[in-house]
């Protein structure tokens, strides 16, 4: 799938380890600047939020943010992912452990109202029970991100930059998905 020039991308940032003398918030800010060098222009950046590490006590709290980016050229999703991964690597990201501590994580959440690879696959991964989520990993890009609706640390910052974005499969907007989460999940995500 190609993302046309000025196509809109929703991305989430997370970090909880320092990199090269910079704390997680500074690393995220620097990564946003680095994305512009990859042809991904910042349209809007959320506030930064602190989110407790899970499970409690497993490491430092995370800093989370979200952004709305646009493409400066017509590119395919493989190229977009490669650019996001290149910026992660530039800031010390090692893909050694899923859901582990990290210097930088940049997740592609959505590209407009695109559903990839198809509606059936997106639905299957989105509806996967929590215990199965830990054991299985998709072998391809699933858009919108299949865990988007479950994660306050994604939805709270996303509400800053794209409150009106609507999930193309559920028909729910960002604020509706956020309101559906348990109050304690939302309360755990605090502005820095």
> Over the stretch 31-56, which tens digit does the pLDDT of each residue have?
999 999 999 999 999 999 999 987 67
Q: How far apart are CA 171 and CA 156, in angstroms?
A: 18
Predicted TM-score of the model (pTM) = 0.92
> Over the stretch 129-154, which tens digit does the pLDDT of each residue have?
878 877 888 888 999 999 999 999 99
- pLDDT of 181 strictly over 70: yes
Q: How far apart are CA 16 and CA 14, in angstroms?
A: 7
Q: What is the CATH number of the domain that holds 55?
A: 3.30.70.560
| Cβ neighbours around 180 below 10 Å, total | 12
Q: List CB contacts of 78: < 8 A, sequence separation 6 or more.
A: none
- Domains held by the chain: number: 1
40 close to 153: Cβ distance less than 8 angstroms: no
Around 73, how many Cα atoms within 13 Å sit in the side-chain half-sphere? 9
Q: How far apart are CA 51 and CA 60, in angstroms?
A: 9
Full residue range of the structural domain in which residue 179 is found: 2-191
């Amino acid at each position: 799938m190609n993302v046309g020039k000025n196509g809109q991308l929703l991305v989430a940032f997370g970090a909880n380890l320092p990199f090269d003398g910079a704390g997680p918030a500074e690393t995220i800010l620097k990564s946003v600047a680095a994305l512009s060098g990859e042809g991904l222009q910042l349209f809007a950046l959320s506030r930064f939020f602190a989110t407790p590490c899970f499970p409690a006590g497993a490491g430092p709290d995370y800093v989370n943010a979200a952004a709305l980016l646009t493409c400066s050229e017509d590119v395919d999703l493989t190229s977009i992912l490669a650019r996001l991964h290149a910026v992660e690597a530039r800031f010390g990201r090692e893909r050694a452990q899923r859901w582990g501590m990290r210097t930088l994580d940049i997740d592609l959440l959505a590209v407009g109202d695109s559903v990839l690879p198809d509606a059936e696959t997106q639905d299957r991964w989105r509806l996967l029970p929590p215990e199965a989520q830990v054991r299985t990993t998709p072998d391809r890009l699933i858009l919108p991100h299949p865990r988007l609706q479950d994660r306050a640390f994604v939805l709270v910052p996303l509400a800053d930059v794209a409150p009106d974005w609507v999930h193309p499969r559920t028909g729910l907007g960002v604020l509706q998905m956020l309101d559906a989460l348990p109050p304690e999940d939302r309360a755990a995500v605090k502005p820095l």
